[in-house]
Amino acid sequence: MQEIIVRADRLHEFTRSLCKSTGLSSVNAELMAKLLVQTDLRGVHSHGTRALPGYLNQILNGSLNTEPNLRIITESKSSAVIDGDNGIGHIASSFAMETAISKAKSTGIGAVGVNNAGHFGAAACYSIMATLDNMIGFSTTNTGNPTLVPPGGAVPVTANNAMSYALPTGDSHPIVLDIACGVSSWGKVGTLRMYGKDVPEGWLLDESGNPSQDPNHGPWMVPAGEARGYGLALIMGILAGPLVGGMMSCVKTGSSSEHFFIAINIESFTDFDSYVDQIKQGIKHIHNAKTQDDITQVYLPGEIEWNNYDEWIESGIPIHVDHLRNLESIANKLDISICWEW
């Protein structure tokens, strides 16, 4: 058995306790627990609590601030740039999207960047925030060192940057697109490694530029759609890089990340109820679309993840045992008791 079913409320409380024990405030510990467990509930474990030990170890070794002093360093009526003060990216990013939403309420569109912060987890966390205020949300990031090899290239020149859109649908879950610009996210490669599986052909390259299906020997990735994914990765890295006071990933020397968020107030463009009516008509048409013989339904972007959420919020989250062992290891390091009767 590779997985154990974990109740979401137990995992939330455990995650919050771990965060508080490293010095995060109650508010920020609660925020981290909310975002990470929400991500696990949607089945994106690589960006949920599985990433938590890495974040907490960065705090313990002094690489990240426990309580960053977030401050707006430039601002207009519809835009801002926030200094993340080298804190966990989730904290600055949540504040940035809240700021973008606030600006969009008065100007129609709010765009906010973050520099000098850590990894922000799943991009969808922040685009989804905007939908709670009947807005369209967008988020992207410029993170890490180059790992994406451009078409015709022999070495990587940009990071595998993620991007996410979330669009409200009325009384149903929002449509959520959350993608890496590479053929896969590195988190999925880590998941395959955890389950002892090979990486699909055509995903990875070794350091000599040769194709690799070994998740342990494939440090570089090819872009999704060749030139299309490469172009998207480069542009995302500029929006969440030089535009907000950061650097291009190809010349980065440190581990700090930058992020970028947009909130679009639908009511500034059209009547929200009319928008929802059109969206629902489109969703019905998509769900009723003819499928191939071995396919039962066409899904909306993010719909499979929401199906996971709806099921697992009631039944519990299936989590790999190595994932739980890593959480147990950081709990022991922090002298936090753990009950495995999930």
**Residue span of the structural domain in which 294 resides:** 76-183+222-301
Taking the C-alpha atoms of residue 34 and residue 28, their distance in angstroms, rounded to an integer, is: 10
Is the pTM higher than 0.85? The answer reads yes
Mark whether 227 and 137 lie in a shared domain. yes
Residue 107's CB: how many other CB atoms inside 10 A?
15
* The pair of three-digit structure tokens given for residue 216, joined into one six-digit string: 């342990």
Q: Is residue 93 part of a domain?
A: yes
**Under a CB-based contact definition with an 8 Å cutoff, are residues 259 and 114 in contact?**
yes
User: Does 252 lie in the same domain as 148?
Assistant: yes
The token duo for 36 is 């990470």
- 145 and 177 together in one domain: yes
Does residue 12 fall inside a structural domain? yes
Q: What is the pLDDT of residue 238?
A: 97
Clarify whether residues 80 and 136 are in a common domain: yes
C-alpha distance across the termini of the chain, in Å: 16
pLDDT for 171 equals 95
How much is the pLDDT for 256? 83
Instruction: Kindly state the tokens that stand for 128.
Output: 């989804």
Task: Say yes or no: 10 and 124 in one domain.
Answer: no
Pairing of the two strands 162-167 and 317-320: unpaired
Q: What pLDDT, on the 0 to 100 scale, is given for residue 339?
A: 63
Check whether residue 120 and residue 63 sit in a common domain. Answer: no
CATH number at residue 335: 1.10.1530.10
Q: Which long-range contacts (CB under 8 A, 24 or more apart) does 105-110 make?
A: 105/133, 105/265, 106/77, 107/77, 107/78, 107/268, 108/78, 108/264, 108/265, 108/268, 108/269, 109/78, 109/262, 109/263, 109/264, 109/265, 109/268, 110/78, 110/79, 110/262, 110/263
* 277 and 333 inside one domain: no
In a domain, 263, yes or no: yes
168 and 90, same domain (yes or no): yes
> Does residue 273 lie within any of the structural domains?
yes
pLDDT for 341 = 58
Distance CA 144, CA 30 (A): 26
- One digit per residue, the tens of pLDDT, for the chain of length 342 reads 789 999 999 999 999 999 999 999 999 999 999 999 999 999 999 999 999 999 999 999 999 999 999 999 999 999 999 999 999 999 999 999 999 999 999 999 999 999 999 999 999 999 999 999 999 999 999 987 899 999 999 899 999 999 999 999 999 999 999 999 999 999 899 999 999 999 999 999 998 889 999 988 899 999 999 999 999 999 999 999 999 999 998 888 777 899 999 999 999 999 999 999 999 999 999 999 999 999 999 999 999 999 999 999 999 999 999 999 999 999 999 999 876 555
15 shares its domain with 153: no
What are φ and ψ of residue 166, in 5° steps? -135, 135
Give the 3-state secondary structure of residue 130.
helix
* In a shared domain, residues 37 and 171: no
Domain contains 207: no
Residue 122 maps to a domain: yes
* pLDDT for 5: 95
Residue 125 shares a structural domain with residue 1: no
Looking at residue 105, which CATH number applies to its domain? 3.30.1370.60
| Assigned domain for 198 exists | no
Are the beta carbons of 238 and 74 closer than 8 angstroms? no
pLDDT at site 342: 54
Domain count, the chain: 2
Q: Is residue 217 part of a domain?
A: no
Beta-bridged to residue 261, according to DSSP, are 112, 139
Whether residues 226 and 86 share a domain: the answer is: yes
